[in-house]
Structure 1
């Protein structure tokens, strides 16, 4: 499927401002800045397993089915109920404090996180 693959963090835009809008303290923002994230996505039709491996050995996995309510964990470790959608080839989720879209553009996973008018973009390249 289009999203299946393993992706390595390549670049980000507007990280600091976005994290400040999330309400994270400066020391946490600094600690997470530039984390080397590996994202592994398994897609089987409408079913997804989305795993992120962070520097330092932390791992976060979310499993969801497009259009069905599920439990999602945020980057900060909080859990909430959400219904993940597919809109125009993008995986779309509304988190408690932000909106996220993820899409495949060429050989890259592009994730856009938005709070009001503040947008954070994270781009990861597909690993062979």
Structure 2
């Protein structure tokens, strides 16, 4: 059961370019699979992205609180880009179909890399 009725990029383009009225668009994402250097495993992990359709500002709501993200729109998907204090980034790309991938390029303790990729879907 998908909540969206039009392609994600079209939805964002229409809402952000539309007349000024306070509104938000939420992307509720669930990532039941994760791949790391140790293999692929099941997990219970999700996050929500909120886009202010007037200003274009966006935020991620996840297990670490709320943080600003950049929104990159393309022909078939939208990508949310979070820059971490460490200098690393985390990206989430959501296709028009709702399929999504969340890539973490985490640095722990200043020098230990902990990359992972999470696979799932988002609804908006």
For normalisation by structure 1, the TM-score amounts to 0.49
Q: Highest Rg: 1 or 2? A: 2
